[in-house]
Amino acid sequence: MFSVVTSRPAHPAVSARVDDRMTVHPVVRAAASGRLPEWAVAGPGRRRHIERVAELLDSWAQQEELAEDERARWRAAAYLHDALRDAPPRELREWVTEPMPDALLHGPAAAARLRDEGVDDEELLDAIAHHTVGSPTFSRLGRALYAADFLEPGRTFLPELRAELRARAPEDLDAVVKDVVRERIRDLRRRGKKVNPLTAAFRETLARGPGE
């Protein structure tokens, strides 16, 4: 998992059960309503992408008949995942201690900013921090965000495949996520890029299936 700079002690992991979570942080509540933090750096095109991811995630949450507070977490994750996508890398590196390519900094940096403000929803922070590369520690929220970021309808690559995968989600979400991981790895190899260790570990976790 990416190392991030925090000015406060890490909070203990929260329960996956919604009724056991602590009071929703105001920043998360605002994001669930479509309002980004004041520190967000996201241009108009990025914000349109964020909105499409939020719409897709919320539609999946509705289909799964999630409780409203859980739907709100899914919407918040969507709005926060690229909150720092357009920030200068030099600024993002103030929040991320582990060396990594510039393109991967925004997730860990956003999670670090949120933690610094007191957000302690570990599933939410994990989803935001690793939405680009995936993580073997993802909850269903993390898997859904990872898939929605790739599948949102505004993207123009692989239109037929992505439409087919969207149609299968969320009912067949884990299988859809496996296919998204496969396509991301295929693209990396096609471009001569290395596969991130977290992505490889995520793929192995998915291959083992639920309960493993």
Domain annotation for the chain: domains and CATH numbers: 18-208 (1.10.3210.10)
Instruction: Reply yes or no on whether the pLDDT at 9 is more than 90.
Output: no
Is residue 4 very low, low, confident or very high in pLDDT (cuts 50, 70, 90)?
very low
C-alpha angle 125-131-136 in degrees, rounded to nearest 5: 80
Instruction: Reply yes or no on whether the pLDDT at 3 is more than 50.
Output: no
Integer Cα distance of 168 and 32 in angstroms: 25
- Predicted local confidence at residue 22, as pLDDT: 52
Please give the residue that has the higher pLDDT: either 22 or 23: 23
Q: What is the mean pLDDT of the chain?
A: 90
* pLDDT tens digits for range 56-115: 999 999 999 999 999 999 999 999 999 999 999 999 999 999 999 999 999 999 999 999
Is residue 16 very low, low, confident or very high in pLDDT (cuts 50, 70, 90)?
very low
- Burial of 3-29, coded b for 16+ CB within 10 Å and e otherwise, reads ebeeeeeeeeebeeeeeebeebbebbe
Integer Cα distance of 56 and 155 in angstroms: 13
- Predicted local confidence at residue 6, as pLDDT: 36
C-alpha angle 115-180-170 in degrees, rounded to nearest 5: 80
**SS3 state at 4:** strand
* pLDDT tens digits for range 175-202: 999 999 999 999 999 999 999 999 999 9
Token digits of residue 30? 């605002």
